[in-house]
Structure 1
Amino acid sequence: MAKKLQADEVYKKCDENVFEFETIMELPPLTGTIGQDRAIASLEFGLNLSAKGFNIYALGAQGTGKMRAIRALLSEKIRTEPVPPDWCYLYNFKNPDAPIAVSLPPGKATEFQKDMENLISTLKVEIPKAFESKEYDKQKNKILEDFQQKQKEWFSAVEEEAKEKGFAIRKALAGLIIVPIKRDGEPLTEEEFLALDAETRKRIDEMGKILQEKLDDVVRAVKEAEKIVKDMLTRLERQITLDVIEEPIEKLKRKYSFNEKLVDYLATLRDDILNNLQDFKISEEAVPPVPPFMRVQREVSFAKYSVNVLVDNSGSQGAPVIYEPNPTYLNLFGRIEYKIQYGMAMTDFTMIKAGSLHRANGGYLVIDALALMKNLFSYDSLKRALKGKEIRIEDVWEQYRLITTTTLRPEPIPLNVKVILTGTHFLYYILYNYDDEYRELFKVKADFDTRMPRNEENIKKYAQFIRLCQAEEELLPFHKSAVARIVEYGSRLAEHQEKLSTQFSSIADLIREANFWAKKDEGKIVYAQHVKKALEQRFYRSASIEEKLRELILEDVLIVDTYYKKIGQINGLAVIDLGDYSFGKPSRITARTYLGKAGIVNIEREIKMSGRIHEKAVMILSSYLWSKYAIKKPISLSASLTFEQLYEMIEGDSATCAELYAILSSIADVPLKQSFAVTGSMDQRGEVQPVGGINEKIEGFFELCRIRGLDGSHGVIIPRRNVKHLMLKEDIRKAIEDRAFHIYAIDYVDEGLEILTDMKSGELQPDGTYPEGTINYFVMKKLEEMSEALQKKEKEEEIKKKEENSI
């Protein structure tokens, strides 16, 4: 039997006396998370399990406290975990395009950077000083003097011999040559030489060749000696430089002896300095003014001795936690920056910049999953990094360029990070079902629920949450009556009398709005009326479209009857969800029946405006009709069913009961009350099933009836299983108390039929008939009449056809 609901059944109040305080100022702020025990346990499991692939996806609706819970757990966990090492990049003297990645204990990277800066600054001063010393000049001069002395002796011997034999040494374009001379010492001209007799010319030629060979031997000896001198000077310079650099470099080697890479680097650094002494030999004070571009080049020559500190954990306590709000590829994996000089893009290892993965290495990285998917390359590259356990800084656009450009390829850095993705259920299941790699890398699911039990413990935690918001934002104190109203709003959000919503972002918004209205009233405490005012104003700000649709109904542009009775017509209820606001919209459902065998024709389906769920509901309705009225005899029926003035797609099964009532009314010629609206789906046995949006549906129809004028005949029929979901507005509760509006809860469709017709539905009798005077009796009688009429017509047509064939 249908149950008529009382006012206290459509709204579960929160007794403010359950609170042992007057204002929330007597409470401590909330710590931890409310109502997410399963999700918290999953997070703790994922955070404590260090095995490969056990990264976390925290899924849940916006505002359920995912980030608050993650922050709280991580802030607690990282305190006991070690600070990860620093990372820096160094110049690779053997392969400049592949900078070396070096790991150092926390704080040591910046220390090494300063040590290197001090070393190079010292060498830039001390090396020039060493080359200006007397000792260096003395040794250098001795080498040069010895060489010059030997050179002089060699040339003097040849010159003396040539002079004795009538020749002299002269400079020419080809070098030093032997030429014959006259008695006065002047060179013999070509005419004078040709004037000599043949024997004399021959003798001069032969002697000249002998002397030229001796001169050439001396020149070669001098050149060899020059090489030896140059080598001696180089060895001298290296030795002088070694005396300056050996001790500071060895000191650094001893200091960083725990890192083999650094020891090798310092050894290579020493060799590079020795091979590039010209960069150090001139002191900065002695450098004359030069154009800016030359100064830049000189700075670059020393940049290779810099230390690029990529990650500095010197000030860290515990493991790092990085929240990346914009997970682009560059923000995640770092970048190689460039600077433009004379129209050319220039870079070096000092322009390598860290990404979020570098900063989170050894700790935790939190990323919004949807933002990750939106950014090109980010998701696939993150998977590769997690699988390979290394971070590579690459130019991802290189493969798309027509011309390959040279760039740096830094050494990969080992990766040890726990990644936590946050996102929706939809995105989680898309990734899980369509990406095999995702299942291997994100094995922990932390599911944040949108509802929790409405028990005394959680109600008190709601009060503590209000206290937390008050403390964080310095709001006015909230009275316990206001807290009770907020708890009731939590049940309204959860759409359940025994549940509370865990979408705390919406709860926090209500807290802020109530605080605003209390301040506007110049109050010192927030009371229940301020929460009520906040809710009323929130609905008012969002209800523009709802009011416009209602105006169309009141003007009879959209036809919805709320008085009298009509055959084959009933008011259905739908919910329009605008995202930030949902409201109920009454719709007129009509049915027409006539002779035929077409069955139930769903007009929306015929014109492809019906979704699959709605089409299924109509088929269930058909099954119910045939199973109920065609037990003993077959029936023939053609019926059309439609939502009048519906100009958009229809989906869902919540109008199944209303559609059935419209069809039965049309078949039996029994009118239905238009002062009622119906919602509820049904199964093939006629049991009424619960539907969603029940509060908005009831409130939408009530508001229309209220404006037109409540006379005690108006009401709504809903599934009994939806009663626990009712959290209706105060004006509906008052109308129920005043018996101006009624809500009936039913378990079977026949119960609603009796309310709409004021007639008994009728139980099926053993002979397959229904009691006279009942709705079901009239339906079956009409169906039988329609079947007989159709059979009679078919026989007449058959006889007529036979007569035509016989003629």
Structure 2
Amino acid sequence: MQSLGYTDVSIPQHRWEPGIGDVFNLSSHIRARQAIDLALSISGPDFNVILIGDENVGRMTATIDYLRYRRPIEHLVRQDWLYLQNFWVEHEPRAFGVSPGEGRRFEEHLTHYVKRVFTMFKAALESEIHRVRLEEIYREAERELDSKRRQLRRGNDRNGGGKRGTPKKMEAALRLSHGEEDADEKTASRGLFENPTEFEEEAGKIKASAEYAATELDRKTLEVIITKERCSFSDQFAPYQDLCNWIDDLNTDMLSNVTTIARLVRDGSVDVPVRYRANLLIDQTDNDGVPVILEPNPTYENLFGAIEYRRQQGSFETDFSLIRPGSLHRANGGILVLRAESLAKDDSVIDALKAALRDGMIAIEERHRMGSMPVAATPRPQPIPLSVKIIVISSPATFYQHFSDDTEFRAHFKIRAEIDPDMPASVENAATLGAILQRAIMRHGMRYTTDAVDCLLGLSSKIAGRRDLLSARFELLDDLIREAQRIAGPSNALSRDEILIAWNARRHRNRRAEERFLESIARRHIAITTEGTAIGQVNALTVREVGDYAFGRPSRVSARASIGWKGVVNIEHVTQLSGRSQQKGALVVEGYLRGQFGRLRPLSFDCSITFEQNYGRIEGDSASVAEFVAIISAVCGMPIRQDLAVTGSFNQLGDVQAVGDVTEKVEGFYEATEGNRRKGLLSGVILPSANIGDLVLAEEVAEALAQGRFKIWAIDRVEEAVAIFATLPSADLSDCDTHDLTRQAAAIYARMDANLAQFSETQRLYDSPPFQG
């Protein structure tokens, strides 16, 4: 047995020196760092990372901070990407990849080139030389038309004239863009033609020939301009042969559409048509390092991009300039970070992501149109090669529920690592975490004292649940710093006092259910005795969880013994309120009893045990020691102390074993015995020695322990618990050693053996044991 003191249970003081403050230097994150470094060093497309960690361990912020500002990774191709008009297949825009910065330069030079060509073409069309040449074409057509007109008139005269008039549509055919017949000649021509249709055909051919000649003049004019200007444009992008070929296609298309361009420039417009523009999808001009993209909402459109639509005269239309990139495009050549919880919301997105990794391409599809009528002229963008590393960050529950059994997903995410929720309280870890906390305080614009960081490190151990551990959930401490900042005020330095006040205030906000339970004890609605002695009645300790808040609460375990053959009867098991582990604990208690007292004769007793006022399911074997003490008290008729509570399980050999949540259990019983302290009475808890390192108690409890108003005993053997409970409440066990308790326990065991012998003798006199088949 060991009696614990203040230094054994108070908030620990960790030795530390200021370190670098990089989260990935913590030993809890070392696997994550190694996994990321390995993935980034391998060029294979399937070596992506699934990173698993609890909330508040900095799994997202620390990962992004670690990834950011890295040098470009050689095997990842980082490029600007452009979509340009496909002049051969109109609705399949082409994708072009160029070096970072070249995409913006190409876009600017393309716009400048087309505008310059249009401006020069407009000037050429308005020049005197071009006007004279154009007038000559139309005058020649007019002369030819006059010749045809005279031939038809003579033919009509030879045939004696005609009665039919010239139709209006023939009148229109006679007009050319640079003149038409005068009124006198039109009047004279009426009724002179025997075959007006033939004349219409001839006039149409003359006009078409004139229009073609005019167009050819415009085309040659534009061709001269393009020939003069193209080299200054295309030579700047000579390293990109595909772009140079596209520039040739652009020039060919402008010559093919010279009529439309001429009409535009004659109307005074020099704006660049959409088909001659560039859609700069990805621009990495200002990105010197590796692009690190976090996609918080990985829908299909957010990941793979989308095609937008504009409203035009009551309908919707689109073109390649309205293609928008997704996160995969922005992260191409770098790293994409995804949240598994968001990714798991839509299985179709996961399937599309796996397909993209399998094919090595990013294809933009309009998933929302699947199953509906196809829309004419909707772009079908050319897929873009995918060169990216993907890091999916997941909670353990999400990973094992959605991804662990997906063999195809595992094939593309071959590297898996977990962030530990806690880490050893080594000098290195304490130094790194201390530096992280220092940086967090300064980031919030505060001054601080050294004991503030010391206190935060100690509370980190409390969060971790062990004195020799630090919690990796440092974001909880960052939240605590913000709360303490309001208490300290802007002019004061943050100290240990403000940290503890904020910690206790947080606990107070969350402990409504605990306070209601304590009120029920005070009103005697829940029967818990914390004074004097009683037979067959022990205070066990349980834990209740309400959301993310857990608190300890005493629960009375009672036992009643009689002569019989059933042995230990677990009422919870009989009423189906116990879990398997609780029933196992009861059977272990019975096994120890049989091995201790029934080796030479059969045990002749019945002893029912139960958790009083409990009507819900009970799980766990941490009340095994309490059940055993209650049974010993009931069989021996021995009063046992009610100012104590016990938690712990033991094996069939009597060795006490560690249990969970001992800090919450001790603090819970401390709160329940407040009346004892007001009366000046002692109270205390018995727990396994293996749990000593798990105790990080509130400052109030530790001080009560130092003042002797509360006691904690750690035991190794179940007999020690029996001996402590059998002592008088006024007895001082400070100087009592294990040998004393062993002697006292031996005396109690002898009394137990004698009572069981009497039970057996009495049972033999009244009845014989039933047949055991």
Instruction: Please tell me whether the aligned partners of residues 589 and 652 of structure 2 are also in contact (alpha carbons under 8 angstroms).
Output: yes
Q: Deviations over 1:397-446 (max 9, x none)?
A: 233x4545454321111111111122222323334532112221222223
1:509 aligns with 2:479: yes
Aligned position for 1:6: 5
- Structure 2 residue aligned with 1:682, among 650, 662, 670? 650
Q: In structure 2, do the counterparts of structure 1 residues 608 and 244 end up closer, same or farther at CA, with 3 Å as the change threshold?
A: farther
Q: In structure 2, do the counterparts of structure 1 residues 724 and 272 end up closer, same or farther at CA, with 3 Å as the change threshold?
A: same
Q: In structure 2, do the counterparts of structure 1 residues 466 and 754 end up closer, same or farther at CA, with 3 Å as the change threshold?
A: same
- Structure 2 residue aligned with 1:719, among 688, 691, 703? 688
Secondary structure of 1:258's match?
Answer: coil
> After alignment, is 778-787 or 502-511 more displaced?
778-787
Secondary structure of 1:53's match?
Answer: coil
1:654 aligns with 2:640: no
Secondary structure of 1:78's match?
Answer: coil
The alpha carbon displacement at 1:470 in A equals 3.1
**In structure 2, C-alpha distance between the alignment counterparts of 1:254 and 1:169, rounded to whole Å:** 68
**In structure 2, C-alpha distance between the alignment counterparts of 1:330 and 1:610, rounded to whole Å:** 51
Secondary structure of 2:654's match?
Answer: coil
1:40 aligns with 2:16: no
* Counterpart amino acid of residue 676 in structure 2: R
1:101 aligns with 2:82: no
Q: TM-score w.r.t. structure 2 length?
A: 0.85
* Counterpart amino acid of residue 5 in structure 1: L
Q: In structure 2, do the counterparts of structure 1 residues 432 and 403 end up closer, same or farther at CA, with 3 Å as the change threshold?
A: closer
**In structure 1, C-alpha distance between the alignment counterparts of 2:252 and 2:765, rounded to whole Å:** 112
Alignment of 1:698-717 (within 5 A): 698-709=666-677, 713-717=682-686
**In structure 2, C-alpha distance between the alignment counterparts of 1:783 and 1:420, rounded to whole Å:** 69
* Counterpart amino acid of residue 140 in structure 2: D
**In structure 2, C-alpha distance between the alignment counterparts of 1:465 and 1:164, rounded to whole Å:** 111
Aligned position for 2:218: 237
Alignment of 1:433-444 (within 5 A): 433-444=404-415
Aligned position for 1:553: 521
- Structure 2 residue aligned with 1:92, among 62, 86, 89? 86
The alpha carbon displacement at 1:605 in A equals 4.4
**In structure 2, C-alpha distance between the alignment counterparts of 1:9 and 1:250, rounded to whole Å:** 83
**In structure 2, C-alpha distance between the alignment counterparts of 1:548 and 1:176, rounded to whole Å:** 103
Instruction: Please tell me whether the aligned partners of residues 218 and 262 of structure 2 are also in contact (alpha carbons under 8 angstroms).
Output: no
The alpha carbon displacement at 1:792 in A equals 3.0
Q: Deviations over 1:585-606 (max 9, x none)?
A: 1112233455666665544445
Over alpha carbons, which structure has the higher Rg?
1
Aligned residues: 738
**In structure 1, C-alpha distance between the alignment counterparts of 2:686 and 2:528, rounded to whole Å:** 17
Q: In structure 2, do the counterparts of structure 1 residues 473 and 738 end up closer, same or farther at CA, with 3 Å as the change threshold?
A: closer
Aligned position for 1:544: 512
1:152 aligns with 2:146: yes
**In structure 2, C-alpha distance between the alignment counterparts of 1:695 and 1:667, rounded to whole Å:** 32
Instruction: Please tell me whether the aligned partners of residues 16 and 431 of structure 2 are also in contact (alpha carbons under 8 angstroms).
Output: yes
1:333 aligns with 2:304: yes
Secondary structure of 1:115's match?
Answer: helix
Instruction: Please tell me whether the aligned partners of residues 329 and 378 of structure 1 are also in contact (alpha carbons under 8 angstroms).
Output: yes
Aligned position for 1:311: 282
**In structure 2, C-alpha distance between the alignment counterparts of 1:677 and 1:333, rounded to whole Å:** 61
The alpha carbon displacement at 1:561 in A equals 1.1
**In structure 2, C-alpha distance between the alignment counterparts of 1:703 and 1:722, rounded to whole Å:** 20
1:282 aligns with 2:263: yes
1:465 aligns with 2:436: yes
Secondary structure of 1:474's match?
Answer: coil
The alpha carbon displacement at 1:54 in A equals 1.6
Q: In structure 2, do the counterparts of structure 1 residues 536 and 337 end up closer, same or farther at CA, with 3 Å as the change threshold?
A: same
Q: In structure 2, do the counterparts of structure 1 residues 160 and 588 end up closer, same or farther at CA, with 3 Å as the change threshold?
A: same
- Structure 2 residue aligned with 1:30, among 21, 24, 36? 21
C-alpha root-mean-square deviation of aligned residues, in Å?
3.7
Secondary structure of 2:221's match?
Answer: helix
**In structure 2, C-alpha distance between the alignment counterparts of 1:187 and 1:47, rounded to whole Å:** 87
Instruction: Please tell me whether the aligned partners of residues 667 and 783 of structure 1 are also in contact (alpha carbons under 8 angstroms).
Output: no
Instruction: Please tell me whether the aligned partners of residues 310 and 353 of structure 1 are also in contact (alpha carbons under 8 angstroms).
Output: yes
> Identical aligned pairs, as a percentage?
30
The alpha carbon displacement at 1:758 in A equals 4.3
**In structure 1, C-alpha distance between the alignment counterparts of 2:307 and 2:640, rounded to whole Å:** 75
Q: Deviations over 1:526-556 (max 9, x none)?
A: 4433333333333333333322211111111
The alpha carbon displacement at 1:359 in A equals 0.9
1:777 aligns with 2:769: no
Q: In structure 2, do the counterparts of structure 1 residues 510 and 167 end up closer, same or farther at CA, with 3 Å as the change threshold?
A: closer
**In structure 1, C-alpha distance between the alignment counterparts of 2:618 and 2:373, rounded to whole Å:** 55
Q: TM-score w.r.t. structure 1 length?
A: 0.82
1:488 aligns with 2:458: yes
**In structure 2, C-alpha distance between the alignment counterparts of 1:735 and 1:65, rounded to whole Å:** 36
1:259 aligns with 2:252: no
Instruction: Please tell me whether the aligned partners of residues 128 and 282 of structure 1 are also in contact (alpha carbons under 8 angstroms).
Output: no
- In the alignment, structure 1 segments of 5+ residues that lack a partner are 21-26, 178-184, 190-207, 288-294, 764-769, 796-807
Q: Deviations over 1:757-796 (max 9, x none)?
A: 3499999xxxxxx98863541564366368647853759x
**In structure 1, C-alpha distance between the alignment counterparts of 2:415 and 2:190, rounded to whole Å:** 103
* Counterpart amino acid of residue 753 in structure 2: Y
**In structure 1, C-alpha distance between the alignment counterparts of 2:573 and 2:121, rounded to whole Å:** 92
**In structure 1, C-alpha distance between the alignment counterparts of 2:759 and 2:91, rounded to whole Å:** 89
* Counterpart amino acid of residue 34 in structure 1: L
Q: In structure 2, do the counterparts of structure 1 residues 789 and 497 end up closer, same or farther at CA, with 3 Å as the change threshold?
A: farther
Aligned position for 2:359: 388
Instruction: Please tell me whether the aligned partners of residues 100 and 285 of structure 2 are also in contact (alpha carbons under 8 angstroms).
Output: yes
Q: Deviations over 1:34-59 (max 9, x none)?
A: 33333323332223223232212222
Q: Deviations over 1:200-228 (max 9, x none)?
A: xxxxxxxx9xx968x87766555555554
* Counterpart amino acid of residue 339 in structure 2: D
**In structure 2, C-alpha distance between the alignment counterparts of 1:785 and 1:247, rounded to whole Å:** 124
* Counterpart amino acid of residue 711 in structure 2: H
- In the alignment, structure 2 segments of 5+ residues that lack a partner are 172-186, 729-739
* Counterpart amino acid of residue 359 in structure 2: G
Instruction: Please tell me whether the aligned partners of residues 83 and 313 of structure 1 are also in contact (alpha carbons under 8 angstroms).
Output: no
Aligned position for 2:555: 587
**In structure 2, C-alpha distance between the alignment counterparts of 1:120 and 1:246, rounded to whole Å:** 13
> After alignment, is 640-649 or 111-120 more displaced?
640-649
**In structure 2, C-alpha distance between the alignment counterparts of 1:323 and 1:340, rounded to whole Å:** 32
> After alignment, is 605-614 or 363-372 more displaced?
605-614
